[in-house]
Amino acid sequence: MHDFIHDTAIERDLIATRAPDPARVREIIAKSLAIQTLEPEETAVLLNVTDNCLRLEMEDAALKIKRFVYDNRIVTFAPMYVSNLCVNRCKYCGFSADNPRQKRRTLTIPEIKAEAEAMTGRDGHKRVMAVFGESPSTGAAFIAETLEAIYSVNVKTRRGHANVRRVNVNASPMSVDDLKIVRSAGIGTFQVFQETYNHTAYAAMHPAGTPKGDYLGRLTCMHRAFDAGIDDVGLGVLFGLHDWKFEFAGLVAHARELERYRGIGPHTISVPRLHPASGSAVSSAPNLFSDDDFLRAVTILRLSVPYAGLIVTARESPALRDRCVGLGITQMDASTRIEIGGYSGAQTEQEIDAQQFLLGDQRTLEQLICDLAQRGIITSFCTAGYRCGRTGGCIMDALKTGKEGTFCKINAVLTFREWLDDFASPESVALCEPVLASELAAIEQNLPKFYPQVLDRYNRICAGERDLYF
């Protein structure tokens, strides 16, 4: 595997594209609207836009792209921290092996099932992001066992039953053979963040002699995932470790490399920002990444990799996340707990020594859904595409042509009806019904011949059937 991140070239592009010509910026926006991944130089141009009018044009285009590719919906999920045992010594992370303050724990299989039961039975989550530190005790076999345990849980609700239907994994890079083990257990998206693409910053933050000190091994882990048959992968950097524009350019270069390697880009890109962690050697971000930078990054990511799902997590404040909804993000977590055993445990307040960082947005799933509904946005619990084989190259083609948005709208309506009937309060149902009715009307108008089939399944869900999808 080769190193495809060239620091000098990235820095050269960022310098050469300062004070970009507005006509050039609009040409690039037009390319984004055609759902084409941008070249590194084109991304650099957008990163250097300072004119407010051009920025508004970029934001308008970002939302248009999101609606074309993903329709009028936000997908929700919840992270499940399974273990904070870690052999790495990353200077910014509370999980660092050098941190004596962190309360270490790995969930047992019964405890994992209890977490899944709490997440589904109380809040109605259908998607989980299982998170692991890097430790010999939590390798591929344990991750596979974790997935099987989560999928096995099925809880009764007031109208039907609920279960987790997709488990994504955030873990350390693995070999092809180990990734095949994880794939066999039904992994959704395999998510690994490079943390920083700058080679010097990476070496400074990840001591040599640790597994994470291997820059190239981490950089090429998604190539191995593809080789193992995992065709949905998620990228991200930890903004604040280095200049955010450089990191952004690295992300886009990574996406383009995956397209070159297998014709499949990242299914998701996350935008986490460095927050202080208990016992970490780095108490504040070495490089400024302000709220305004954050909003610019989300906008330009939607333009640069227009097909990718964009995730902004509960690390950030409700106000900032709400602003990002209007810039094209597609996924948000809610009712989030990031301490080990946080969903089934009795702890209600955040405790910095028991979790990786403190959360900024503590809204429940129901609160988030209602906030979105008030903006006319439907919440989707759909996992149909992954179970119907619409993954990898198939979903990439569907996303780029807007076809996936059609299935997304239909399945969002069906899963939202199911969630409302099983979990929502009467007040929330009343608030969300107009959004649901609007989406149904749009399906009837745009797909009149198909609408009777949609209505049939919708009515069957209202009568108590569950997990119906197209």
Q: What is the H or E stretch that residue 169 is in? A: strand 166-170
Mean pLDDT over the full length of the chain: 94
- What's residue 393's pLDDT? 65
- What CA–CA distance (Å, rounded) separates 266 from 236? 10
Q: 3: how many CB neighbours lie within 10 A of its CB?
A: 10
- What's residue 63's pLDDT? 98
Confidence of residue 275 (pLDDT cuts 50, 70, 90): confident
Question: Do the beta carbons of residue 426 and residue 420 sit within 8 Å?
Answer: no
- What's residue 357's pLDDT? 85
- What CA–CA distance (Å, rounded) separates 148 from 187? 10
Confidence of residue 317 (pLDDT cuts 50, 70, 90): very high
Residue 390, judged by CB atoms within 10 A of its CB (0-12, 13-18, 19+), counts as middle
- What's residue 392's pLDDT? 65
Q: For the segment 42-89, what is each residue's pLDDT rounded down to a tens digit?
A: 999 999 999 999 999 999 999 999 999 999 999 999 999 999 999 999
Nearest 10 degrees: Cα torsion 247, 252, 256, 257: 10
- What's residue 354's pLDDT? 79
User: For 190-198, what is the mean pLDDT?
Assistant: 98
- What CA–CA distance (Å, rounded) separates 52 from 130? 40
Confidence of residue 338 (pLDDT cuts 50, 70, 90): very high
- What's residue 405's pLDDT? 65
The full length of the chain comes to: 470
The encoded tokens of residue 417 equal 């009806």
- What's residue 395's pLDDT? 66
User: For 151-171, what is the mean pLDDT?
Assistant: 95
- What's residue 470's pLDDT? 85
Residue 129 above 70 pLDDT? yes
- What CA–CA distance (Å, rounded) separates 154 from 117? 7
Confidence of residue 310 (pLDDT cuts 50, 70, 90): very high
Confidence of residue 419 (pLDDT cuts 50, 70, 90): very high
Percentage of the residues of the chain whose pLDDT score is greater than 90: 85
Beta bridge partners of 378: 73
> How do 331-333 and 127-132 pair as beta strands?
unpaired
DSSP string, 199-215: HHHHHHHS-TTSGGG-H
